[in-house]
Amino acid sequence: MSNRTLIRGGLVITAADETHADVLIEDGRIAALAAHGSTAAESWSADRTIDATGKYVIPGGVDAHTHMELPFGGTFASDTFETGTRAAAWGGTTTIVDFAVQTQGQGLREGLDAWYAKADGNCAIDYGFHMILSDVNESSLKEMDLLVEEGVTSFKLFMAYPGVFYSDDGQILRAMQRGTSNGGLIMMHAENGIAIDVLVEQALARGETDPRYHGEVRKVLLEAEATHRAIQLARVAGAPLYVVHVSAEEAVAELATARDKGLPVFGETCPQYLFLSTDNLAEPDFEGAKYVCSTPLRPREHQAALWRGLRTNDLQVVSTDHCPFCFTGQKDLGRGDFSKIPNGLPGVENRMDLLHQAVLDGHISRRRWIEIACASPARMFGLYPKKGTIAPGADADVVVYDPGASQTLSAQTHHMNVDYSAYEGKRITGQVETVLSRGEVVIDQREFTGRAGHGVYTPRSTCQYLN
Ligand code: URP
Ligand code: ZN
Ligand code: ZN
Ligand code: ZN
């Protein structure tokens, strides 16, 4: 027995088009689109009809950078796969790509299996995995090939966090060379962590212990330098490169220079760099700890370059780097020593709304909103057109979005398992109304109707910008 849902009367927005169309969903997939009021659309019948008059009908968001339950700085990111994916659904995101972790001395298989186990049966929306490489050696390089075959087609390396996730330039080069041969995409955390650790030690010795010094020691120059070095290493390896959480104007410039040479270099930024700044890090009474993440928040002047990069396609993706730690009991670990504040911000629920606000503020167009939040991350990480668009055959991951609704972002009303909002009090025009994941309504007119275990592991093909 087939199950048909019809979404009627909305403005369907994809990265390519905006059309007043009705959307027919059958057995979890988009079956057809037809102009609203057309004979074809009028002839459709369904078990359920959703009235989207005056609303946008957009693809579910694809958040390609989350860290549910990440072990970090002696604690764990406070959202589990269950709470984090539910919050994602509330915010109109229907796919996450989270980071499985290889710890030092461990194999990739062991690390990845642990992440499959954490997520299995707990997710409200679909999910895939990238793999963090913390120990590049002969055997982990071989294991990369196997992971690509099973749909884990991207690998994050760190030029930061010596002694934890850090890889040296030789390890980075080897991993890139392996990616060249097996099709895996290298994702880089580009900050010179060796130099940063010297500056951290010197700052603490001077008694500079407040959260704002986190931003001062993690210098723009050390992000730009690492971005440049990563690009050159990728060129030597003949490998493509994806730079995560780009925060600084000078780093965008490195990407733009490489792209203008025609190199396959890509970049991601995150809402926190577009909407927050070092002013937040400097908030008194340790409140700045709420904004400690790496790369760090930058002076407000950097935001214009990030928006420009998103418009010119020197940056392709906005993901959240969702990595929440509660202010009480977790961020607290760094009172008296900013270097002990667990790094990361909550945001998986806020991304689609913040970027819709950016449309209204004139930074990006509606179609670019959908491109950077849905289509481009899906293409970058081998999920397109199953995810990231509304087209016949695609998974029916669809959001009915009310562009005129008003909301105020707040920890009082959000669904992320964290005791503060990085955007507390921010007013947004636009709100998610209804969300479908593979045809199943998981948010119904702002009621959660989904369930843990609906979301399934989604293997990915290799980067679709390269062929
Ligand atoms: O501060 C951050 N970004 N925490 C998560 C780990 C990472 O580097 O992405
Ligand atoms: Zn990172
Ligand atoms: Zn350019
Ligand atoms: Zn991250």
Q: What is the pLDDT of residues 254-283, one digit of tens each?
A: 999 999 999 999 999 999 999 999 999 999
340 falls within a domain: yes
pLDDT at site 2 = 75
Ligand 1 centroid to 35 CA: how many Å? 44
How far apart CA 97 and CA 244 sit, in angstroms, is 13
pLDDT tens digits in sequence order for the chain, 467 residues long: 579 999 999 999 999 999 999 999 999 999 999 999 999 999 999 999 999 999 999 999 999 999 999 999 999 999 999 999 999 999 999 999 999 999 999 999 999 999 999 999 999 999 999 999 999 999 999 999 999 999 999 999 999 999 999 999 999 999 999 999 999 999 999 999 999 999 999 999 999 999 999 999 999 999 999 999 999 999 999 999 999 999 999 999 999 999 999 999 999 999 999 999 999 999 999 999 999 999 999 999 999 999 999 999 999 999 999 999 999 999 999 999 999 999 999 999 999 999 999 999 999 999 999 999 999 999 999 999 999 999 999 999 999 999 999 999 999 999 999 999 999 999 999 999 999 999 999 999 999 999 999 999 999 999 999 97
Ligand 3 centroid to 253 CA: how many Å? 9
pLDDT at site 1 = 57
How far apart CA 201 and CA 145 sit, in angstroms, is 39
- List b or e across 197-209, with b for residues whose CB sees 16 or more CB atoms inside 10 angstroms: bebbeebbeeeee
Which residues does 217 contact at the CB level (< 8 Å), separation at least 6?
196, 199, 200, 203
Atom number, ligand 1, closest to the C-alpha of residue 344: 1
Q: How far is CA 355 from the centre of its chain?
A: 13
Ligand 4 centroid to 294 CA: how many Å? 8
Q: Which amino acid is at 434?
A: T
As for how many domains the chain has, the answer is 1
**Contact assessment for residue 439 and residue 28, using Cβ atoms and an 8 Å cutoff:** yes
- Best residue among 67, 155, 418 to mutate for probing ligand 1, ranked by most atoms within 8 Å of CB: 67
402 falls within a domain: no
Among 298, 328, 338, 341, residue whose Cα is nearest residue 411: 328
Which residues does 68 contact at the CB level (< 8 Å), separation at least 6?
77, 79, 80, 81, 84, 85, 96, 98, 118, 119, 322
Among 361, 389, 393, residue whose Cα is nearest residue 376: 389
163 falls within a domain: yes
Dihedral sign from CA coordinates of 462, 88, 351, 54: positive
DSSP 123-167: -SSEEEEEEE-S--SHHHHHHHHHHHHTT--EEEEESSSTTTTB-
Q: How far is CA 84 from the centre of its chain?
A: 13
Angle at 296 between CA 294 and CA 298, to 5 degrees: 160
How far apart CA 276 and CA 280 sit, in angstroms, is 7
> Which CATH number goes with the domain that contains 101?
3.20.20.140
**Contact assessment for residue 391 and residue 14, using Cβ atoms and an 8 Å cutoff:** yes
- Best residue among 134, 293, 298 to mutate for probing ligand 1, ranked by most atoms within 8 Å of CB: 293
Alpha helices in 261-375 (DSSP H): 271-275, 278-281, 303-312, 351-360, 366-370
> Mapping DSSP to helix (H, G, I), strand (E, B) and coil, where does residue 121 land?
coil
pLDDT digits (tens, 9 = 90+) for 105-155: 999 999 999 999 999 999 999 999 999 999 999 999 999 999 999 999 999
Write the residue with the smallest CA distance to atom 9 of ligand 1.
321
CA atoms within 13 A on the CB side of 358: 30
95 falls within a domain: yes
Ligand 3 centroid to 415 CA: how many Å? 38
How far apart CA 145 and CA 108 sit, in angstroms, is 11
Among 60, 121, 125, 73, residue whose Cα is nearest residue 98: 125
Ligand 3 centroid to 256 CA: how many Å? 5
170 falls within a domain: yes
Ligand 3 centroid to 268 CA: how many Å? 15
The DSSP letter of residue 329 is T
Cα distances (angstroms) measured from residue 89 to each of 275, 367, 453 = 22, 21, 13
Q: What residues does ligand 1 touch, defined as CB less than 6 Å away?
A: 67, 189, 245, 293-294, 321, 323, 343-344
How far apart CA 464 and CA 332 sit, in angstroms, is 42
Atom number, ligand 1, closest to the C-alpha of residue 65: 9
Strand 185-189 to 241-243 pairing: parallel
**Contact assessment for residue 450 and residue 89, using Cβ atoms and an 8 Å cutoff:** yes
Cα torsion 235, 238, 243, 249 to 10°: value is 30
17 falls within a domain: no
**Contact assessment for residue 153 and residue 463, using Cβ atoms and an 8 Å cutoff:** yes
Write the residue with the smallest CA distance to atom 3 of ligand 1.
294
438 falls within a domain: no
Please name the residue that has the structure tokens 């989207």: 52
Q: Which amino acid is at 448?
A: F
Among 29, 69, 19, residue whose Cα is nearest residue 344: 69
**What range defines the domain where residue 284 resides?**
60-380
Please give the structure tokens belonging to residue 363: 């930074």
404 falls within a domain: no
pLDDT at site 322 = 98
- Best residue among 323, 348, 418 to mutate for probing ligand 1, ranked by most atoms within 8 Å of CB: 323
The closest ligand to the CA of 314 turns out to be: 3
Write the residue with the smallest CA distance to atom 8 of ligand 1.
294
The DSSP letter of residue 427 is E
**Contact assessment for residue 116 and residue 84, using Cβ atoms and an 8 Å cutoff:** no
